[in-house]
Structures are given as structure tokens and as C-alpha cells.
Structure 1
Amino acid sequence: MESTRVTAPPKFGTLARTFNKILHLHRSVNISANGAGVAPEKDDYSIPKLKLSQNFSEHSSILSEGVSEFYKVEHEKQPQNLSSSEIEAMESLLANLFASISAIKAAYAQLQMAQSPYDPDSIQSSDLAIVSELKRVSELKHSYFTTDFIIPHTSFESQSALAAQIEEQRNLIKTYRITTNKLKADFKLKDSEICSLQFELLEAEKNNRTLESKLHPGRSLSALDGLHPSGLNPTHFLSVLRFTFKSIQSFVKLMVKEMESAGWDLGAAAGAIQPDVLHCNKPAHWTFAFQSYVCQKMFSDFHHKSYNLAAMEDRSMWGWRQFFDEFTQLRYVEHIQKLSQHSAIANFFRVKYLALVHRKMELSFFGNLDQRAIVSSDQSFPNSAFFAAFAEMARRVWLLHCLFFSFGEPESNRSIFQVRRGSRFSEVYMESIVEDKDVATAKCRPATVGFTVVPGFRVRWTLIQSKVYLLPSTSDDNQW
């Protein structure tokens, strides 16, 4: 059976030969640029001046077995030197070709840009520009095949090589600008999405605080949302004070847990701080001694605007508005690293931690002084649950301090006080921290103050009672 001879399609063969000519033409142009009159090297791929035969029956076309080569077209080649006019024509051809390709890229980029948001006018103009440039490329092709590389004055506007190169650069710049505008639009879209998500986050946090305030009254500051200085009153201060005392209780619980883990004698430790807690022989009362110790350290120099710290001396000149703005700014900032960026509160953390947590205490709890060293370094804060609990407590004390000085001048508008040991109990100035059932169990009634656990405050016309530990005594001993 005779095998059928396969002839390559004319259009495909022509395209392959065209690409070969363009590639090797660029080599010839580079050689001519390096030295006029220097003939290109003679090889099998040099471009002769010839007419492409339209009769493909004169050439054999064989389908190759390899994937990298489709057709091998044989033709007669007579190597010749290109004249200066032909070189100039080819330079102009290539420059115009690349200018058209860059124009197509720019128009296509504009077309994509016009899809979203939808712009019908821009889409139509981009489409026309693409069609126009494709026609121009087609005319360049026909000119190349029909005029022996010489570009005639055809219907399209031909340019010199330099002018075409300038046009190419302009098209590239146009493409970059379109891409930049696209990226800017994407950035604005992402930015709006971020703002939307931040708004949703704030709403979710607000709802969480509302639910938390209903579930645990006094443990959150949701009641102060949207607070304006003109609406500030002592009730707000009382809410923040309760909020602060809750964190003090939480820190004391953690501190007592560490004491137990380290094998401390809690009774002896509590008695060393406040001997009066040993009178009733109730281990539950030992916690009040530890709470008193923490409050003494945290509220020391509370009545000074600068907390009597040299590093914060500039705060002594602050007005009530600055303190209120800081309270508003830091009210919901809980992350330690964000708080460390605030120099004043970071300094407050360091001073209070070093005063509250003794070296022997930290060494007993953790077996080393690493946390103390980190705090003293002024570089960062320890990444531990113990310091995180301390930082939350210190943050709330700081917020209470800011709100305390937000009530304006004069100084008589506010004050902080504690009750001396042995003072007569007064329900006007004091509140017993011991529950009534504990007093009833002890079969005794309160008489005199043993020590102050939480100091009292006076804000404007309102007096906020101090929390005191009362010494129990029998009726025979209670003579006023």
C-alpha cells in the first residue's frame, strides 16, 4: 500500500520561516551596529535576499519525530550582504513591530481594567485599539513578504526606528500606569474590607462587653462606652474601682497558688503582713492580708499626677482633659506589647512590679530571677501567666488613676484615704470586707478596724467607702 505524502500547510510553514528570519535578522542588525561594512558570518541560517516561493511543491516538508521541531523547510539560500538601506528598513520593521505589540499589551491591560468596575466606553475604545494594532501588525507582515524587506508607504503610518522605539516605551509606561492604578484600586478595596472587618470586630466586642456586664456585673467597662467628659460622674469612677478590685483579687489568687506550690506557710506569710488576720484563726481571712499588701503597693502615691515617679514628671502639668483622653485611649488596650509602647504605663509597670514582687518571692516561685531581669532591662516584658495577671491588674489601676484626675480642678474635688488601725468603725466611711456569715460563725461582732484592704475615695460630692478588715471582739470588750 502506498504511503500518502504529507505536505505542510502553507500558512504554518510561512509563519515558521518568518520567525526564523526575524530572529536571525536581529543578529545581523547587531553586527552591523558594531561595525559598518562588516559582513555577517556565513552559516546555514543567514538571511539571503530572496522571494519566498508560494509553490510549496518545490520543497520537501517532513514531520519530525521530536517534540521541539515540527517542520524542516528546505530552500535555496544565497548568502549576501545587506545594504544599509535594507538594514535601516529591517530596523524600522522590528521597531514598528515591537511598538505595535506593546500597544496591544497596553490596550489589553486597559480592557481588563475596564471590566471592574464596568466601563463600556473604555471597553469599546480598548477593543478598537487592539483591532487597529492587530491590523497594523498584519500590514507589517504583508509589507515584509512583498517588498524584499523594504517597508513602503502603505495605508498605515510607518515610522522610523527611533520613533517606533519611543512609541514602544510610551506604551510600556502606559501599561505600567494601568497596572499601578489596578494595584491602587485593589489596595483601596482591601482597605475598605479591613475597615469593614474592624467595624464588625468593634461591634462584636461591644456586644461581648454588654453580655459580660449582664453575666458578671461590675467586671467590665461596657457601661462607659461613649462616655463624654460632660457626662462624667462618680458612678463611673465607682464602676472602674470595682473593675480594678476584681483584677486585684484575681492576681492575689494566682499569687497564693504560687505560694502553695513553693511550699509557703500561708498563715505565717499573712501574719507577717497583717497580724490581725490570725485572731479569728480562719485561713480564708489570710487572703485579706495579701489583698491589703497588693493594694498598698499599687495605690502608693496614687494622689500624685505623676505617681511621684521622676520619669513621668511631665504629667504633673497635665490637665483633666489629657487624663480623660488617655483613659479613653487605653480602656480596651489589653495586649502587653501594645501597652509597652506607651512609655508612661510601661514605666509604671516596671516600678510597681519590682516593688510588689520581692526578689526572694520571685526566686521561690520560679527558681530564678529571669522575669525580674527582663523587667529591669527596660526592653520588654516577660511572657508568663504571672506577669500577664500583674499587667492586667496594673493596667486597671492605671485607668482608675487616669479617671481619678479627669474630674477637673481644684484638688479638693478628689482625695484618697485609708483608715488607721484601731479606728472606730463607721458605715459612712467604711465597708467591712468580712462577710456577715463569717462574723456570725465567730460569735462576735465588729468593733474596731484592724487594717485597710482597699482605700476609700472622695470624688466631688460622693464618698466611696474603703474596705476594711474589722477586729472581732466580745460585747464586754466593746466599750466606746
Structure 2
Amino acid sequence: MLQKFALAVKTKTIEFFAEEDEEEEEERAVGVDDSDACPAPEEVITGQRVVVLRPDPAPGPDPETLAAAALAGLSSFQAAYLHLQTAHSPFVSDAVRSADRAAVSHLRRLSELKRLYLSAGPGPSPSLTSALPLSFLLEAQVLDNQDLLRIFEALVDRLQSDIDRKDAEAAVLEKALADLDGAGVQLADRLERACMPAEERVESLLTVGVFDSVLRDTCRLTHRFARVLVDLMNLSGWNLGAAANCICPDVNFTKPGHCRYAILSYICLGMFGGFDSYDFCDDGDGVDMDEIDVSIRRTDSLQQFIEHSALDPLELMRDFPSSDFVKFCKKKYAKLIHPGIESSLLRNSATGESSLGSLTPSSPLYESFASMASSIWMLQKLAWAYNPVVEIFQVARGTEFSMVFMETIVPKFDKLHIDSGTAPRPKVGFTVVPGFHVGKTVIQSRVYLDDSEQTL
């Protein structure tokens, strides 16, 4: 624009001086002197031309310039709106306010551009020309480039966020893969054991730890049944000390409450009777072990153990009353709750009929007895799956205490007192829970010690 203005001024100056030269030549041709040519001050000078110098008018607005400005404004608004969306997730209040102000500013710029264009009309307009100088286009281009940079930064941040999320997902998948690898190793081990010969597969399952775990569960259920029975005896007015003396005569109990161990012994020894018989028969009419093939005996016993462990004993007694397990329960219950005990325990005052005489769901001992009997039944089947068969033993009364084969049933018993040489070794008062020989491993028998000097 400055260059055009300079060219215009130069042209007008050349024309002005050219006209003056022509006039001087004409005056010299007619012989007019310089002194005559200068008029007096009061004379009117005629024939003189006045030239007014004006710059060329600015060109009208270029449609391409207007379109570029509008596009730059739209691009800037798009970038500001993208920043506004990004600031909402996660929500950053300062960033939201800044992006909102930028978006509003760009909208105002576009609105002003639209207003100026509509007010100018189709032809050139000085107001629009003054409102859209060259610097406006340059500024719009600079802002457009800055907004593009901000868009790229936002895209980079979003891509980095996606990368972090993918890394987290990859870490989770790696952990899942490691877990699957571990599960695959376990399945491979199980498959290897499943492909073993039957004899080797049974040997891998039958360990001392498995038998000891089932035995501990059996002892827990036996204690539960004993507590229920003792509560019924207390409600019936029984003298527990006299009952314990009838079961284990002349035993020196350290505390009066220890008489319950005699009742527990009565239950355990009664339930474990016939444990060393293949069909759990304690009357001497059981099947002889020598008549059974070892592999058949082991496979059959293990199968019965697995099948029975998956059944509910209460449902089994209700749905299969003629099964061997139900016969076992009825026989053991009749042995424990004999008519002498039945006649002195709880009775129905209205009918005079005992609620304990038979193993029926109405008996208060029914559920606890069924659970205990089921656990002892499974333990016996498991014992006969071993080779050699698990042997049961109990300690006779008066035997000196041995920590190898026995453990005291009394909690917190001072074992240092047993091994000290200051007093004679305590004697066994009675066996509470029998012991077992699992191969060459001994599972200790739990006994109550008859010794007035034992400490708790």
C-alpha cells in the first residue's frame, strides 16, 4: 500500500512540473521577460491550474481475505472447544474457565466479522475496509497456527492417556496370563496323576495329612454331639460326676468339670467300636480282610469315601433308610442311648413317651448325631483305602504317659512336669479319642491322666 501511494505522488509531481515547463517556453517564445511575467500584487493571475494531491483509494475487501479470516476464526473456535471438552475429563476448574473464555472470544470475533460483512453490502465499503486491515489477516493466521498447536498438544495428551490405559490393561492381562500359566501347570499335574496307573494314583492321594484332617473334623463333630448330650443330662437333673464315675470308676479328676471327658470317652469308644472291621461291624461277624483282594478293597473303600463325602447325611437318612450307613447309625445310636439312659433323660410330660428312644428327626440329638456318625463312617472308609490298612489303638488304664503315643486331652497341660524327674510319671485314667497307625506314622491317642499332682 505504501509503495502504491509513493508511485501515485511521484506521477502527480512529474505532471505538475511538466506543465510549468511548457508555460515558460511559451512565454519565452512571445518575448515576455521574467520581470514582466511577475504580476503586481493587486493583479489577478489568470490561466493558472491548481493541482490537489490525493492518495489512491484503498482497494475493496478481497473475498479470499474474508474467507481466510472466517476459516481461521472457525479453526480457533474448534480448538478452544476441544480444550473445553478436555478440561472436563478430568474436571479442572481453572482449565475449564480459561477454555470457556477463549471459546467465547472466538465466537465474538466471528460474530463481529459477520456483522461487518452484512452491513457492508455487496460492494466495497470503507467501514469494512478499515475494519479488515492486512494485520487482521496476519493476526488471524497466527491465532490459527497457535490453536493448531494447542490441538496437537491436546491430541498428544489424549494419546498419552490412551497409552497409559493400554499399559495398565497390558499389566492386567500379563497377570491374568501368569495366573493361567499357573492353572495350566496345576492341570498338567492333575492330568499326569490321572494318567497314572490306578495303584499309583491312589497312593498319591492317600497321605497322612489327609487322614489327620478327616480325623480332626471327626473329633470336632464328636465334641459337638457330646455338648448336646451333656446339656440334656443337665436339664434332666443328672449328676455328671456320678455318671462319669460309672463310666470310668475311681478316676481322680483334677477339676469337677473334667467329668465331661468321661462322657466324651464313652461316646468316642462306642462310635469307634468295630473300626478295624471292613464293614464296620463290632459284633465279630464282619467280613474277614484276608478274603478281600487288596486292590479291590482299596478302590472300593476310596470310592465309598468320595461318594459319601458329597452327600448330606440328613438327606441320606431320609431318602435311603435301608442303606448301610443308616443301619450303622441306628445300631450305634441304640448302643449309646440305651434304655437306662433313655428312661432318665427328657420325656414328653403329656404323653409320657420318650423323644430319645429312636433315631428320628424329632429327637434333639438327631442332627448332631447324624453329622458325627457320617464323619466317622467316612474316616473308616478312608482308613481301609490305605495299604497297609490304618490301625486303631487305645491306651489301657494305668499305663504311664508317653509323649510318642499319647497327648493329654486337658488343655494347657504342663508337659515339663511330665518329663521332670521330680515326680513319678502320670498314669492314664482313660482313653478319650483312640490313636492310629498310618503306615509308620503314629497319630497320638488323646487320654485323660489320672494323677493328683498334674498341673493345668
Higher relative contact order (CA 8 A, sep 6+): 2
Larger Rg: 2
TM-score between the two structures when normalised by the length of structure 2: 0.48
